[in-house]
Amino acid sequence: MNKSEIIQHHQTFMNFARSLDGLSESQWRAPISHEKWTVAEVIGHLIPWDEFVLHKRIPYFLTGETLPAAPNPNVVNELGARDARMEEKDVTISRFLSTRRQLMEEIEQIEEHYWEQEITIGTTTINLFDYFVDLARHDGHHAAQIKALL
């Protein structure tokens, strides 16, 4: 996967999220499987992670500074899911699209020489391509779950 494919992934995933606006309220609030999150919660939990990448990863990737510790994933996931439970569908989708658009714009601005640069996150060393490929796989996992439900 290269930079343009990563950007294309985000455009495609944003289109997928837009398509969810056509879901009925019962589909939007339906669990993706037994005792799992609802569609709303799945989309909602992506928002704080996109914000984290925007504010606590990309700036540090570009300066070479030590990366801040990642927050507790359970806490971040629950906050995003909670917000989505309390919001109207169009609000959650709009917030997701806005945040993801900002993330995509930041990715577009990353100069080529940064993409192969190795970064260390905890005990893992990867390059920027691999980091964003992992995020794209995460999106794909959730898109597949939602599509299976629908």
Domains and CATH numbers, the chain: 3-149 (1.20.120.450)
Residue 2 scores a pLDDT above 90? no
- Which of residues 142 and 63 earns the better pLDDT score? 142
Tens digits of residue pLDDT in 17-46: 999 999 999 999 999 988 899 999 999 999
Inter-residue long-range contacts of 115-120, CB under 8 Å, 24+ positions, other chains counted? 115/3, 117/61, 119/61, 119/67, 120/67
Residue 102 near residue 93, CB atoms below 8 Å: no
Helix (H) or strand (E) holding 127: strand 124-127
**Cα–Cα distance between 145 and 55 in angstroms, integer?**
28
Residue 119 scores a pLDDT above 90? no
The pTM of the full predicted model, rounded to 2 decimals, is 0.93
Structure token pair of residue 65: 């500074």
**Cα–Cα distance between 48 and 82 in angstroms, integer?**
11
